[in-house]
Structure 1
């Protein structure tokens, strides 16, 4: 039963990640995106550590230091790379390249280093989901393909793919809560300099605090804890493809909260995304009644 809940945990995490764009849009003026990203990790890390301390279940024994550092660096790099890519080459191109490249890079890493060849179903799902993302963001803005922005977006996608792969290794031998608490605390430490580079006066306002808490606790702490729990039962390549529910959530929130509208092209993109994700959620009839392994 728990194995069947793996994809659901990943989807719930993606839904929470999808709130970040709307939340940032509601942030006070002067709040730099990179500063928001650094604050997000700091609040999330503190929240997770407090939960661990309250439960009293943290164990340092046999903790893989090198793998943990790699996971934390990957997550720390993702924040400035993604936000910088969006600022350089635009929201549409930056988001599609970063989020769309992550599943492909994750599948290739598993194939090359873990010798786990992605299934045909995964390729179909990933293709449909990425095509959906392309259509969903197609009419967001004029296209501005900047080579530097593309490289940074690809770097963000690679960072997320590595984080997912490494985290899956960690949650096999340690509790999900302990893993995310350690990883995000370290990630926050790596990004601490950004808190001194950018103006942080916005955070003391009522709206600033609300944005920081929502992004840190819900969109980071709770979301990545769910993601880590899902990784116990889902391969990293499948998890990253399921995470493409994030832009779908962001688009729908933009419509209902920010007053944006969906074109026919965007609606087709949503349908393709739902179809692609659906292929991974519902196993084939042949596997029903058997133990499901999401590869």
Structure 2
């Protein structure tokens, strides 16, 4: 990998990591509006956040409208995934718990993303990605087990379907997260700026969420606290977070981005301890350390096996890139 290529991928990883930190606050923020349904939380967060992104990118969307229309299937796929993701994600946390819902949703995304890239783009699974993904998934699993073991027995009075349903919805969330990440990365790779891509995909996704918000969103206006929670979710983790994520996707591939976003589970667990008052046992901290290790592995530059070889076979995130593509 050239110095410029590594610098670009390092900035991309940093942008995705910053977005993940913001996303990690959403579960804790939602606890401050307990009477608001997960559907309303998801609709206001991603719906209004998506519309804000579209407004932010309006000029760029108009300038590249012909390119976006020419790739409307990819735009449509990404938009439907954007609209589905928050409904599945927040419902998963509501049914299975914040920690388990977050871990399943975010933890399953890297595998789904890699499979999508393998099928759609014929990309090979690389050794470095495999190590990073295994470390991250192992850490996420430990966090899941640690947090589930801390549950209050008095609260576990459901009929037995709540947690499995929450895990199932978490898998749907992971798949749709991987899908819109792949769609956005694919559009950006055609030469459309990340601002236009994210504005178009998330703006259309936000429009799809408006009927859900209209039906479920009245509790958001019931109290100032609920309104502040909704405003925070739309402005900070969703609008600002996905602007950063778009910048990251312009510099790293989707499977790398979704693996780095495993950091969200660590942030969510730490906030649950510090803000909500939950206890994270030693097993959970081991999981957090493994996720940090996965981020370190993914941030490392690809090694050059022999002098001069990198000039013949430069890499992008550890994957050989044809010489014709290295001029971009």
Under a length normalisation based on structure 1, what TM-score does the superposition of the two structures give? 0.90
Counterpart of 2:15 in structure 1 is: 9
State yes or no: 1:32 paired with 2:37.
yes
The unaligned stretches of length 5 or more in structure 1 are: none
The equivalent residue for 2:249 is 231
Among 96, 99, 111, the alignment partner of 1:104 is: 111
Deviation of the 1:5 alpha carbon: 0.7
CA distance in 2, matches of 1:7, 1:98: 20
1:214 to 1:90, Cα distance in 2 relative to 1, 3 A: closer
Q: Aligned pair 1:242/2:260, yes or no? A: yes
Q: 1:106 to 1:187 in 2, by over 3 A?
A: same
How many aligned residue pairs are there? 292
Q: In 2 relative to 1, CA 50–105 (structure 1 residues): closer, same or farther, beyond 3 Å?
A: closer
Distance, in Å, in 1 between the alignment partners of 2:97 and 2:31 is: 15
1:195-234 equivalences under 5 Å are 195-203=213-221, 205-234=223-252
- Unaligned 5+ runs, structure 2: 1-6, 152-159, 319-328
2-structure distance, mates of 1:113, 1:47: 30
Q: CA deviation at 1:204?
A: 5.4
Do residues 44 (structure 1) and 49 (structure 2) align?
yes
Q: In the TM superposition, what is the alpha-carbon distance from 1:14 to its structure 2 partner?
A: 0.6
Q: What residue is the counterpart of 1:294 in the other structure?
A: 317
Q: Deviations over 1:244-269 (max 9, x none)?
A: 01111111222222223321111111
Secondary structure of 2:210's partner? coil
Cα gap change, 1:81 to 1:116, in 2 (>3 Å): same
After TM superposition, the score normalised by the length of structure 2 is 0.81
Match of 1:82 in 2: 89
Match of 1:163 in 2: 180
Structure exhibiting the larger radius of gyration computed from Cα positions = 2
